[in-house]
Amino acid sequence: MKKIIVGIGIVVLAFLISVLLSDFTLLYKITGVVAISSLVLSALFSGAFVDGDRLGRNLQSESKEDRKQRVSLTNSILLIGLPNLLIATISYFLMN
C-alpha cells in the first residue's frame, strides 16, 4: 500500500509542476516517463529480457531468499508505476 501512495505522490507532484508552469502536457509527460521507467526496471529485475536457458540457470543458482527479494523489488517498482501509468494514459487522451 505504501508503494501505491508513493506513486500517487509522484502524480500529485507532476500535477503541481504542470499547474505552476501552466503546461498541462507536462502531466502526461512526467507520469509517462515514470510509468515507462518503472515498467522497464521491473522487467529488468524480473529477468524478462533474458532467454529461457539463462533464466533457468539464474533461477537454479539463486536462493529462495534472493528470489523473494527480487520478486518483492519487482512488485514494488510496478506498484509505484501503476498510478503513473493510469494518469498518463487518461491525461493523454483528455488533452489530445
pLDDT per residue as tens digits for the range 49-90: 777 777 777 777 888 898 899 899 999 999 999 999 999 999
Question: How much of the chain exceeds pLDDT 70, in percent?
Answer: 99
C-alpha cell at 80: 509505484
If one compares 66 and 36, the residue with the highest pLDDT of the two is 36
Mean pLDDT value of segment 10-30: 96
* CA neighbor of 5 nearest in space, from 62, 71, 83: 83
Residue 17 C-alpha cell reads as 509542476
Burial label for 7, CB within 10 Å (0-12, 13-18, 19+), is buried
